[in-house]
Amino acid sequence: MQPARFGGPTPRRTSRQEQVNQLASVAEELTDALEDAKSIEAQLSSDLALTQQQLAEAVARVSQLEDNGGSALQETVAQQAAELEAERAHVRELQLRVARVEVEWNLEQALKKKGRSYNFRHFDI
């Protein structure tokens, strides 16, 4: 064996070289991991921006539908309320006609009992 002084590798140099190689390997792995993380972060940032845009569009559509739907619903309710009022007026008119016919009928019956007749009937068409 040759002594360490004559240019042969010493255990200390070998150990030092291995440490440097290991550190270089760790540094390279960390650099790769950092690059991967940055790439993933950029992709996630892009995905987030796209999702935020889609969410904003969906909120705008929902808001528009609520506005349009609310207006249409209010118009429908107003129209139905007007139709209901017209039906109520028609029912009142029919009730008045029935009451008039009943009064005329009762009058005719009362006159018959007395031997008279009622010649002027009221007819609504």
The stretch 118-123 carries a mean pLDDT of: 62
Band of residue 1 on the pLDDT scale cut at 50, 70, 90: very low
Residues of 41-74 as b/e, b for ≥16 C-beta within 10 angstroms?
Answer: eeeeeeeeeeeeeeeeeeeeeeeeeeeeeeeeee
Annotated domain spans of the chain: 12-113
- Is it the case that residue 123 has pLDDT exceeding 80? no
Exposure of 90 in the CB half-sphere (CA atoms within 13 A): 6
- Indicate the helix (H) or strand (E) that contains 100: helix 11-113
- Is it the case that residue 112 has pLDDT exceeding 50? yes
Q: Which tokens go with 93?
A: 């008119």
Structure confidence by residue, pLDDT tens digits, 83-107: 999 999 999 999 999 998 898 888 8
- Is it the case that residue 122 has pLDDT exceeding 50? yes
Structure confidence by residue, pLDDT tens digits, 24-73: 999 999 999 999 999 999 999 999 999 999 999 999 988 888 777 778 88
Band of residue 5 on the pLDDT scale cut at 50, 70, 90: low
pLDDT at 101: 87
- Indicate the helix (H) or strand (E) that contains 5: none
